[in-house]
Amino acid sequence: VGQLVFAMPCSGLRQPLLEEPHDLEKGPGQTQQTSGYLAVCEQCGSPWCRCPKGKCDCPPIAATTGLKRHRGKFVFSLDRSEALDASEKQLLEHVVGFVGGKLTSVNELLGTLVVELTDAPEKVQTALSCAGFQVTLRSELALGQSRAMLKIEGMMCSSCVGTVEKALLEVPGVSAVSVNLLTRSADVDFENTEMQDVLDAVEEVGFEATLIRESPVPGSSSAAEAQGSVASFRVEGMTCASCVGAVENTISQIEGVQSASVSLLGHRAEVILEKPGLAATIVEAIEDIGFEAELISEEALTRSASSDRPSEIPVILGGSVDEAGLRKAAATLRGVRGVVLHKNLRRARILYEPRLIGARKLLAELDHVCKYSQETPEDPSAATLHSLRWRFSLALLPTLVIVILAEHIVAWPWSNEILPRLPLAGPVVLGLAAFVLFYCGQSFHIAAISAAQHGATTMNTLVSLSTTLSFFYGAFGAFYDFFSDESDFSISMAAMFCETSAVLVPVLLLGRLLEVQAKARTMAAVHRLSSKRPSVARLVHKGGSEEEVSWDLIEVNDLLRVLPGETVPADGEVASEAAALCDEALLTGESAPVKKARGSKVIGGSTCTQSGFLMRAEGVGNSTTLARIVQLVEEAQTRRPTVQKTVDLLASYFTPTVLALAAIAFGVWAPYGIPFAVTRAVSILVIACPCSFGLATPTAVMVATGRAASHGCLVKDSIVWERTRKLKHAVLDKTGTITKGRPQVAAVALLPGAEALPAAQPGPKAAVCMATMLEFDDGRKQQCLPELAARVGWLLASVEAGSEHVLAQAILEWGRSVSSGQLAEAERFTNMPGEGVSCHVAKVGAIRVGSVEFLGVPSSGTAGAWVRQQQEDACVVVALEACGQLCALLALRDELQEDAALAVKSLQARGLTVWMCTGDQPATANAVAARIGLLPQQVRAACLPDAKAQFVQELSKTADVLMVGDGMNDAAALACASVGVAIGAGSQITADSAQVILVRSSLKDLVFFLDLGSATMRTMYRNFAWALSFNIVGIPLAAGLGAPWNLWLPPIA
């Protein structure tokens, strides 16, 4: 127990708290020690117990030690109406510290405490209760390994990158660092480390660092604690907004529910749960208030439900509120992930999860500390370009004057002396050179000094050292010549060295200006995507009135109006009947407008080209498709391929090597004349170019990633560019990859058992359904066909009405097209995965629908021959049985992608061995393979997910493997492959497992990606070869190795 520190009694407490230890009064029931320490209650273990001795009814603090222990940040509600005085706040801090915690903030406005603790939170609650504070645990945020993206200003070359990485890795708790020169950013993985320590480490080595975002590392304890599940429910009976509110309130009151979002139009509820297993409780609660509910799906909460990157709201601090006040107020709100403040401004960005709290609601809760302030997106290179242009322009005229005087183009300044032996040109050249070098070129010197203070060398070190050395050597020679009668160093020679230093500054400024412009151009693809975001949206209120709101303030489930020619402001669903056309070319690369009707999904950033519509917002802020695409591209551009890491390592040794060579050259040539020796040393320092190494790889990666994004190929990891040239095998999934993934009924065979089915009213396509009647009397075929097709269609539609299987949906669509009327209800429904279904239908009896093997269709006879014929034609055959009698056979075919055969041919032309791996039966798989030019031995059929992954692993033992898939069953195989490519229309889990996503679901984009990968690697190696050749040839010539043949490079070459 800690020593007493309070100078005055704490109100409401029976025990006196004294500053100095002396004899203490006996408190009620407590005998206090006289050593300056509070006595600890023998029963509850608290030194602040308020109970009489021997009659303590407080729960023992030690009893909580058996509870789950983990490091976390906990928010407690303080049940107290009056304000806390200074001593009570200090008492709170000591009580929390007594149980091993740390009180990080007290918000009296909201009545909350935030405590960081490596123990059970009940311990804090018990200890505070003993001290007279009634608190309730409100929320919890588990801590663990985090990943932060930092914006870093001031880096010029690969040596700078190495300096920043070294500084960050020296911070305790930092486990991994990846710094990108072009994007001026760094990804940092850290644990148990304050973010400010990370930022300070960068600034201590001379660079500016700003936090962009921070999130849990996938797979870490923090990510695991934060991850729950998302459940979707179908809710029937809602008729108005009041019904929606009643359902949302009911769900939200259930313990373990993080948030609930109910759609009136979609009759759906999406609920984010802290843990799985609450679906039955939610269904029961909804039904208790008079609505019908059914669980649709429940899955782990991944990026599909919560974006890795939180959404942001720009705000301006109000009144006297400071950074700490804003952070404390925001920390008490569920859904707020952090606050990022702008440097030297009263502006900030609040990071939040839009599915947990809406933007407008968040601002209303924080209205007392901040206000919304709309930000205009700025070009991150604009300030740098402006500064470089200004200093370059400022240096031009003085440099021109220096050249004219130093080269004696004008003679009179040299013939007119202001003092004996001091021509006018001398001080003019010296003064102008000093202005150009130390004012216009000050950025080089500041960066070099900062790096030197921390033992680092960069490109700025070479520039600063060479120009400064040349200038001071010239200045020293000029003064020496003026004051010494024996000097052989003329003022004219001094002017030449001053000219060298002065001319180098604008030349280097111009080079850096062009370099920054080139970097900006490589980011053009990302900027074009980001600029597609609209600034405002039309919000439709419940009464029908409309209001323009900022894009930042759109909330999930907002009803928005989009007019022709306007940009869709968020991801969502069309909520009006009017048909519209949307141009999604920027996101998918598809030039043809896409038709949108009620229920169609729309993508934020696309353009409505014809007929406006109402939409219900589903993805807002950084949860939109557009924001995720930008995030993927940015992350891919930030990660460095292996070749770049090798080059960066080489560049980190380059600058010290150049400095050593300059010193050696000076020493070698000094006996032959100091001026020549200085010139050689300066030439080496100037000609050396570590930037050429540092930019050789990232420029190629940036351009390739941006170009791929503009063609609908999203590259998540730049390492794949290297692997594209090493691929030897390509494994393609069939359904949804080679085929369209939307099977349709291609042929139907009706059997005599169909005559026993109940009569049904024929539908519009019953007479033209192209069915075949097997084993019937030839004279009855034509007249019975529409009637029997209607009976079969009605029964199949009744059975498959509740199924979401892709084959069931195709059968249901056909059944409804050939029959009409009310469907029957299928009872006692049983699903046998991979085989079929069985159920009972009133007035019919027992029904089975499934594969021919499941129903035991004989392989002989006309039925068996029909089945074989359809399977050879790449069809899947499904049979219908009623009361033990075979009634019909349906052949379903999934049509090939238009460019599938051409893509396979292109892959084979690249030298890849192409395989098809599918879960379909061998007959169907071989038929599809034959249509795209694959041999039977290149087909792996009837493969379950683990078999697909095992096949990819077997191939990977000898060569790099490309895997392309779209379904959830492909996720494991994609993760095992050297390069995993997900078809964009596939599942979210598949996309998360892959390294490349094809937005348009077109295999021709796969060929484009591979061609681009080969071109990118060629560009990388070509850039590196040029950089290496330049330095290998330039440095020896600058050192004077060609002097015997009068071949050398001057400093300004």
Contacts of 391 (CB under 8 A, 6+ apart): 440, 441, 443, 509
pLDDT in tens, 261-291: 665 544 667 788 776 667 778 888 888 777 7
Q: Which two tokens stand for residue 904?
A: 């396979």
When comparing pLDDT for 160 and 304, which is higher?
Answer: 160
* Alpha-carbon separation of residue 740 from 569, 597, 817, 920, 997 (angstroms): 30, 22, 21, 15, 17
pLDDT tier at 456, thresholds 50, 70, 90? low
Cα 737 from Cα 99, distance rounded (Å): 58
Whole-number pLDDT of residue 18? 33
Given a cut of 70, whether residue 689 has pLDDT beyond it is no
Given a cut of 60, whether residue 831 has pLDDT beyond it is yes
When comparing pLDDT for 599 and 222, which is higher?
Answer: 599
Given a cut of 90, whether residue 435 has pLDDT beyond it is yes
Cα 373 from Cα 515, distance rounded (Å): 34
Whole-number pLDDT of residue 560? 92
Given a cut of 70, whether residue 1031 has pLDDT beyond it is yes
Whole-number pLDDT of residue 31? 35
Whole-number pLDDT of residue 88? 76
When comparing pLDDT for 69 and 506, which is higher?
Answer: 506
**DSSP-derived 3-state class of residue 1015:** helix
Q: Which two tokens stand for residue 168?
A: 């960050």
Whole-number pLDDT of residue 924? 78
Given a cut of 70, whether residue 778 has pLDDT beyond it is no
pLDDT in tens, 747-763: 888 888 888 888 887 88
733 flagged as catalytic: yes
Choice among 30-34, 222-226, 325-329, 722-726 with the minimum mean pLDDT: 30-34
Q: Which two tokens stand for residue 891?
A: 């052949």
What separation, in Å, do the N-terminal and C-terminal C-alpha atoms of the chain show?
A: 73
pLDDT tier at 33, thresholds 50, 70, 90? very low
Instruction: Give percent of the chain with pLDDT exceeding 90.
Output: 4
When comparing pLDDT for 596 and 228, which is higher?
Answer: 596
In this structure, the strands spanning 347-352 and 311-317 are antiparallel
Unique residue bearing structure tokens 């320490």: 37
pLDDT tier at 879, thresholds 50, 70, 90? very high
Choice among 245-259, 586-600, 950-964, 1029-1043 with the minimum mean pLDDT: 586-600
Q: How many CB atoms lie within 10 A of CB 108?
A: 13
Whole-number pLDDT of residue 914? 92
Measured at the CA of 775, the angle between CA 770 and CA 778, to 5 degrees, comes to: 70
Q: How many CB atoms lie within 10 A of CB 591?
A: 8
Whether the predicted model's global pTM rises above the 0.85 cut = no
Rounded average pLDDT over 1016-1039:
81
**Per this entry, what is the length of the chain?**
1053
Whole-number pLDDT of residue 539? 92
Phi-psi region for residue 344, left (φ > 0), alpha (ψ -120 to 50) or beta?
left
Identify the DSSP state of 30: B
Q: Which two tokens stand for residue 392?
A: 């370059």
3-state secondary structure string, 317-353? Answer: ECCCCCHHHHHHHHHCCCCEEEEEECCCCCEEEEEEC
Phi and psi at 371, nearest 5°, equal -130, 155
* Closest among 383, 340, 312 to 210, alpha carbons compared: 340
The answer to whether the CB of 601 falls within 8 A of the CB of 624 is no
Whole-number pLDDT of residue 915? 92
The answer to whether the CB of 495 falls within 8 A of the CB of 405 is yes
Choice among 257-261, 461-465, 693-697, 702-706 with the minimum mean pLDDT: 693-697
Given a cut of 90, whether residue 11 has pLDDT beyond it is no
Average pLDDT, the chain: 75
Q: How many CB atoms lie within 10 A of CB 968?
A: 15
Cα 117 from Cα 103, distance rounded (Å): 9
Given a cut of 50, whether residue 306 has pLDDT beyond it is no
Given a cut of 80, whether residue 196 has pLDDT beyond it is no
Check 481, 552, 733, 970 and give the catalytic one. 733
The answer to whether the CB of 1051 falls within 8 A of the CB of 688 is no
pLDDT in tens, 550-599: 888 999 889 999 988 888 888 888 888 767 888 776 555 455 577 888 88
Using only C-alpha atoms, the chain has a radius of gyration, in whole angstroms, of: 37
The answer to whether the CB of 666 falls within 8 A of the CB of 681 is yes
Name the residue type at position 65.
T
Given a cut of 80, whether residue 488 has pLDDT beyond it is no
* Closest among 991, 932, 930 to 965, alpha carbons compared: 991
Contacts of 734 (CB under 8 A, 6+ apart): 894, 916, 917, 918, 920, 925, 928
Choice among 232-241, 446-455, 464-473, 744-753 with the minimum mean pLDDT: 232-241
Given a cut of 70, whether residue 946 has pLDDT beyond it is no
The answer to whether the CB of 618 falls within 8 A of the CB of 263 is no
Given a cut of 90, whether residue 710 has pLDDT beyond it is no
The answer to whether the CB of 621 falls within 8 A of the CB of 705 is no
Cα 128 from Cα 126, distance rounded (Å): 6
Given a cut of 70, whether residue 244 has pLDDT beyond it is no
Give Dmax (Cα) for the chain.
Answer: 131
Phi and psi at 893, nearest 5°, equal -120, 135
Top-confidence range, 406-420, 539-553, 688-702, 968-982: 539-553
Instruction: Give percent of the chain with pLDDT exceeding 70.
Output: 72
Whole-number pLDDT of residue 7? 30
Given a cut of 50, whether residue 602 has pLDDT beyond it is yes
The answer to whether the CB of 253 falls within 8 A of the CB of 217 is no
Beta bridge partners of 558: none
Rounded average pLDDT over 233-246:
64
User: Helix count (H) and strand count (E) of the chain?
Assistant: 32, 43
Given a cut of 60, whether residue 439 has pLDDT beyond it is yes
3-state secondary structure string, 864-927? Answer: HHHHHHHHHCCEEEEEEEECCEEEEEEEEECCECCCHHHHHHHHHHCCCEEEEECCCCHHHHHH
Given a cut of 70, whether residue 725 has pLDDT beyond it is yes
Contacts of 886 (CB under 8 A, 6+ apart): 751, 753, 855, 857, 863, 879, 880
* Closest among 804, 811, 696, 799 to 748, alpha carbons compared: 811
Beta bridge partners of 880: 849, 888
Top-confidence range, 83-97, 395-409, 457-471: 395-409
